[in-house]
Amino acid sequence: MSFCGYKSEIREGDTVILYLTINQYYSIEAKNTTLSKKGLPIQNVVQTPYGSLACGDLIGKKFGTKIQLKKGWAYILQPTPEFWTEILPHRTQIIYTPDVSMILLFLELKPSSIVIESGTGSGSLSHAIIRKIKPSGHLYTFDFHETRVEIVRKEFADHGLSDFVTVQTRDVCTTGFGEELHGKVDAIFLDLPQPWSAANFTREMFKSRGGRLCSFSPCIEQVQKMCGVLSNLGYQEIQTMEILQSNFAVQKRKMNVLNLNMLKTPNPNEKENDKTEKEFSNFVTSVPPNSLPGHTGYLTFATFPPTHSIYCNNLNKNV
């Protein structure tokens, strides 16, 4: 339940990140027992490359503690949406942190925001949205796949986030988002094969002051059709971006330094061995990557204007 907020001490049932190396970390539950494949209670033990760990021993320890394993050591850390994105069970293709950070920024989310998300998928983006909008905001997330909805609903409950999210099974492309959300939403996120089908139901969802919409699509043809539909629906400030993360390596390099003594007029009496040897200077530089990262998807953002602005525009057109 430690996703709900930061705390110093691990309690029974908390989700904990067991950090071994920069590329090796696991999500575990601080419980003494767990259920076997046959449904029988057994001791909750996690096997790692550095040895086994009894998860019940973590109860009462402080987050950030360094613990000894048989062949090394590990750190027990507070779970975050960034960690969860890397280790969650993939039920669908997920959205990773570079795209997630841009979505949160351009949707202009804040602690009181009411947000619609469709589809839920594996819940990667959902955890980041909840952290951004709690304690007074709420996330309404929809997915047409009933099994995925049940799994992600249980994960939200295990992480202590059920008070900030409502998960429903719904095909928003045909039935919309529900009349109970009309005029209550600040932002909408769509991760659908045909987002333009759901876009027709979005305008009624926003509050009178308008709101922001984001659509994630892997193909440029989807983006082109979505932008056309958004424009016809009265959306403004439509823009599409692609987030590509490049990691530059910081290294020390040697560079030849010009020896001014070599530029002097040669002295016929000077022996060849008396000339100054080449000089080098060490400096720190950044080395670009050998290859660019692969394509993930396109983010299309748009603004739905306040309703009074639409009313005034209609009046001007009639005049």
Q: 73-122 pLDDT, tens per residue?
A: 999 999 999 999 999 988 888 999 999 999 999 999 999 999 999 999 99
Cα distance between residue 154 and residue 163, in whole Å: 13
Which pLDDT score, from 0 to 100, does residue 195 have?
97
Is the model's pLDDT at 272 over the cut of 70? no
| Angle (nearest 5°) at CA 175 between 118 and 212 | 45
Rounded to an integer, the average pLDDT of 248-260 is: 76
Rounded to an integer, the average pLDDT of 20-26 is: 91
Lowest mean pLDDT segment, chosen from 53-62, 139-148, 259-268: 259-268
What DSSP element (H or E) covers 114?
A: strand 114-118
Is the model's pLDDT at 240 over the cut of 70? yes
Cα distance between residue 241 and residue 255, in whole Å: 38
Query: If pLDDT is split at 50, 70 and 90, which confidence band does 253 have?
Result: confident
For 266, which DSSP code?
P
Backbone dihedral angles phi then psi of residue 215, each to the nearest 5 degrees? -125, 130
Question: Which one is predicted more confidently, 41 or 275?
Answer: 41
Specify the CATH number of the domain 85-244+293-318. Answer: 3.40.50.150
- CA-CA-CA-CA dihedral for 166, 170, 171, 173, to nearest 10: -50
Percent share of the chain, pLDDT over 70: 87
Is the model's pLDDT at 13 over the cut of 60? yes
Which pLDDT score, from 0 to 100, does residue 275 have?
47
- What are the residue boundaries of the structural domains of the chain, listed by start? 2-79, 85-244+293-318
Query: If pLDDT is split at 50, 70 and 90, which confidence band does 319 have?
Result: very low
Is the model's pLDDT at 131 over the cut of 90? yes
Cα distance between residue 78 and residue 131, in whole Å: 14
CA separation, residue 247 to residues 167, 194, 251, 299 (Å): 36, 33, 13, 21
Is the model's pLDDT at 315 over the cut of 60? no
Is the model's pLDDT at 37 over the cut of 70? yes
Other C-beta atoms closer than 10 Å to the C-beta of 319 total 5
Mean pLDDT of the chain: 88
268's tokens: 């016929």
Is the model's pLDDT at 311 over the cut of 60? no
Which pLDDT score, from 0 to 100, does residue 264 have?
58
Which pLDDT score, from 0 to 100, does residue 136 have?
95
Q: 153-184 pLDDT, tens per residue?
A: 999 998 999 999 999 999 999 999 999 999 99
Written out in words, the top-level CATH class of the domain with range 2-79 is alpha beta
Query: If pLDDT is split at 50, 70 and 90, which confidence band does 262 have?
Result: low
Residue at 50: amino acid letter: Y
User: What b/e string do you get for 211-236 counting C-beta neighbours within 10 Å, with b at 16 or more?
Assistant: bbbbbbbeeeebbeebbeebeeeebe
Cα distance between residue 204 and residue 284, in whole Å: 55
Which pLDDT score, from 0 to 100, does residue 270 have?
57
Q: Whole-model pTM?
A: 0.83
Question: Which one is predicted more confidently, 70 or 265?
Answer: 70
Lowest mean pLDDT segment, chosen from 5-9, 136-140, 144-148, 220-224: 5-9
Percent share of the chain, pLDDT over 90: 70
